[in-house]
Structure formats: structure tokens, C-alpha cells
Amino acid sequence: MKLLNLNITFEQYNGLQELNEQDTMLCQLSEQALSTSYSPYSKFRVGTAIRLQSGETVLGSNQENLAYPSGLCAERVALFTIGANYPNAVIESMAITAQTDNFEILKPVTSCGGCLQVMAEFERKQGLPIEVLFYCLNGEILKVQSVQSLLPFSFVEDRLAARV
């Protein structure tokens, strides 16, 4: 038996004023995406902005449904939009933020496991890391250089890929 240790490195910022211009803009766009959230049940709005290598930005917001499993998180809305409309696009960076009228969010909200797995798949598909920023409105921002840092044991099964 071996006892192994796993560490991740991430950056912590106190606010937008500490970010570079590109990251600040991406966080602000994720905040803008909150306005299209359909969250009448949880009242918990999530917005995502994804910057493509082409310079284009794709937004996504959470979309709830009365049949709860039928809803979709903001990250997957944006990522699946890219997959459907820009199948060969390279994702450089994504910012995620959340807001609710029910209480004050004091720390960055991170992605759920399902979203992390989808993010890992996009990173694997493109063969390049995707930078991720978790942005707390008017507060702290956490930044990782790769989805691999967030989900080091993502599901990978190469034998499932079609062989030509």
C-alpha cells in the first residue's frame, strides 16, 4: 500500500481590480449572463462566460425545470452551445459566477461534479488546458490553470472511443 498526496495550485484574488483586463471582462460577462438564468424554483442564478481562442465569447446561464433533473447548469449550457455551434473551437478560459436574492454569497461558487466532468471532456478533446475563474460578485476570485486541477480523477476510458 502507498499513501499518496495530491495538491492543486490556484490563484486567489480579492476582487476584479487585481485581474488583468481579459479576465476582468470575462468575469463581467459571466455576471451579465445571470440575467438570462431561468431559476424560478431555486432562485439561485448562475452565469458562465467562455472565451474562445478566436476571441469570441459564449455565455450560458442555468436553466431550471419543474422536473428537476431536466434542468441544466450554466457551464453545460455554454459548453454544449460551443459543441453544437463551434465544434472545432478551442476554449481558452471560462468564468463562473452566481447570485441569489435569498442570501449574500460570500465565497466563489464552484462547479458541480457533472459540470466538472463535461469541462474535463472539452479540455481532453482540445488537448489544451482550460483556465477557470470562479468569481464571487464584489468579492474573491479563484483561478486555476486547468480543469485537471479541479477533477484530477475525471472519468476517462479510451476504449470507448471509436477506432478507425
Contact 134, 2 (CB under 8 A): no
Which residues, 6+ apart, have CB-to-CB distance to 164 below 8 Å?
none
Q: Which residues are catalytically annotated?
A: 75
DSSP-assigned letters across all residues of 59-97 = EEE-B--SSGGG-B-HHHHHHHHHHHH-TT--EEEEEEE
Cell numbers that stand for 77 in this block: 449550457
Phi then psi for 119, rounded to 5 degrees?
-60, -40
